[in-house]
Amino acid sequence: MSTPNNHIPTILIIGAGPGGLLLYHGIQKHLNKNVKKFNVKIFERDIGPQDRWQGYNIGLYPHGIRSLISCLPESLVTRLSEVMPDPIHEKEYHGVISCDHKGTELSRSTSLYFKSLFELAMMPTYPMMSTYSVIISYRNKLRDLMLEGVDIQWGKKCIGYDECDNEVWAIFQDGTRVRGDILIGCDGINSPIRKQKLPHLQLFDYGITQVLIDVALNKKLMDRIIALNGNFVVHKTFGQDGDTTFSMMRIIPIENDITENTPDDQIHYRISLCYTYYTYWDKNINVDDNNPQSVIDHIKNLIRKRREPCELTDILLELVSLAPVSRPKKHEKTFYRTYNPLKRRPVQDINPMSVEAWESTRVTLLGDAIHAMNPFLGYGTNNALQDAESLVKCLSNYEKHGYRSCIREYENEMRVRSSKDVLESRESCLTQNLPKSEYGYLFNDIYLSGKL
C-alpha cells in the first residue's frame, strides 16, 4: 500500500522516557536515513529536561543494550560508556547478592565477566537468576544523552486522543490538538492513552508499598557496605517480617579530582535504594507524602521496628537519613541538580495478555504504558527499549503494508514478550522477595486470606 499524494505520515510520540526517546532515535536512524519517510513529533508533560529527578541508577541487560545500540545514532552509541562506565575489574562485581536482615548471605549470582557494555551486548538474552550479568548505568545521564538531537515539545500533557479512519489527533491539557497518522503512547504507568484505548486493562496491585531513595553517601559508609556485603553492584536484603531493600550502585566516586590525600568523608558515591513493605503496615499511621521528612521518619521507624539492631540496620538507617528533603539552594554544593521528593508508591503492574488481543488501530502503546512491571528483576526499561526497536522494524513495512499491519505485527510480538517478563517479575516478587512463613510464603498466605 503506497501513501497517496506523496503524503509523509506523521508519528506522534507521547512521553520522552527511555521508550519514547529510543523510538524517536530509531525512526530517524533507520526509517528517515536516506529519504524522510515519517515526520516525528514528540511531546512531554515535563516543562523542561531538568524538571523532574530521573533517578541515579538503572540495571540494563544484554537485550536492552542491544536495542540501544541498534536505535541510537552512531554518535551517541560511541558515548554510551560515559553513562554506563566499563566495570572496574576486581573493584566492582556486576551481579546480585541477597542477604537476610543481619547481612548474612543467602545467595549470589554468578556473573559472566565482561569488559564493556559492547561485550555485555554479545551475551545471552535472558538472564537466569543464578548466572546473569547486568550493567548499572547512570539513569539521569542516560536520559540526558538520549535527549540529544531530539526536538521535544515540553510542557505538553496529553489528556487523550480523537481517532478516525484517516487520522488521529492528540489532545493536550493546554487546549491544543495535534494531527498525526499514528499515535504512540509512551506515557508511563498512568498513561491516559491506555486508559482511553483499553479501559478494561487494569493495574494489578500487590498490596505492597515502595519508596525510592536516591542518595550520595561518603566513602566511609560505602566501605561499611562493602565490608558487609562485598563489592556487588546490586544488593537485596530481606527483613524477618517481610520488608525488603533493593539497591543499585556503582563503586565509582562522583568526584573526579580525587587524590590519595582526599579524606574518606569527601569522596562520595551514588546509591538508588528501594525500600518495600506491606501496605497494611501503614494502616492507622499518618504519613504526609507531601512532606519528605515525614516519609523519611516513617521509613526509619519501620526499619527500627521491623529489623533487629545490627550493622545492616544501622547502614539502612544512615542511607535513609541522607535523602534530601528540599530542592538544592542556589550555590549550594550538592550531588543532585534536580530533586526527587520522597513518596510512598504502590507496587503495581500491567499484564497486556490479561485481556483479549485488541484491534490494532492508529493508536498503540509502548513501555510502562502497556506493560509496567515491578522493579525487582529490573526488566521494565529493558522491555521499553526492546519495544522501540521492535516498532521501528515493523514500521519499515508501512509503505508496503499500511499502518494497521505494522502495528498489529508490533503488538503481537510486544504482548507476548513483555507479558512473560511481567509475570516472571510478579512471581519473583510474590514468592522469592518476601520471607517464608511456616506454611509457605508469608505474602501469599496473607494475600490469599484476604487480609490485604
Give the residues lining the site for ligand FAD (CB under 6 A).
Answer: 14-20, 43-46, 58-59, 157-158, 186-188, 192, 212, 274, 367-368, 375, 378-382, 384
Cβ-based neighbours of 254, under 8 Å, separated by 6 or more: 216, 268, 269, 270, 335
> In the numeric block, which cell numbers belong to residue 99?
542477604
Listed in sequence order, the residues at least 6 apart from 118 whose beta carbon sits closer than 8 Å to its beta carbon are 69
With respect to ligand FAD, which residue has the nearer C-beta, 292 or 375? 375
CB of 363 to ligand FAD, least distance (A): 14
* Parallel/antiparallel/unpaired status of strands 93-100 and 232-238: parallel
For the residues of 331-379, what is the DSSP string, one character each?
A: T---S-SS------EEEEE--GGGSPPPPP-SEEE-THHHH---GGG--
Integer Cα distance of 294 and 288 in angstroms: 6
Name which of 37 and 272 has its Cβ closer to ligand FAD.
Answer: 272
Considering just the CA atoms, what is the radius of gyration of the chain in Å? 22
Q: 3-class SS at 399?
A: helix
274, containing H or E segment: strand 268-278
Question: In the complex, what is the shortest distance from the CB of residue 44 to ligand FAD, in angstroms, rounded to a whole number?
Answer: 5
The smaller minimum CB distance to ligand FAD, of residues 25 and 37, is found at 25
Q: How far apart are the first and last CA of the chain?
A: 53
| Gap between the Cα atoms of 292 and 362, Å rounded | 41
CB of 235 to ligand FAD, least distance (A): 13
Distances, alpha carbon 172 to alpha carbons 14, 154, 156, 162, 234, in Å: 10, 12, 6, 11, 40
Tell me how far, at minimum, the Cβ of 46 lies from ligand FAD, in Å.
5
Q: How many CA atoms lie within 13 A of 141 on its CB side?
A: 16
Contact by Cβ (8 Å): 144, 49: yes
Report the residue number, 29 or 52, with the smaller CB distance to ligand FAD: 52
How far apart are CB 1 and ligand FAD at their closest, in Å?
A: 30
Pairing mode of beta strands 39-43, 10-14: parallel
The rounded distance, in Å, linking the Cα atoms of 426 and 373 is 8
Given the complex with ligand FAD, which of 242 and 380 has the nearer CB atom? 380
Nearer to ligand FAD, 99 or 212 (CB): 212
Shortest gap between Cβ of 354 and ligand FAD (angstroms)?
Answer: 18
Q: With respect to ligand FAD, which residue has the nearer C-beta, 233 or 430?
A: 233
Smallest gap from residue 237 Cβ to ligand FAD (A): 15
Complex with ligand FAD: residue 23 or 407, whichever CB lies closer: 23
Cβ at position 158, least distance to ligand FAD in Å: 4
Distance of closest approach, residue 15 Cβ to ligand FAD, in angstroms: 3
| Cβ nearer to ligand FAD, comparing 160 with 328 | 160
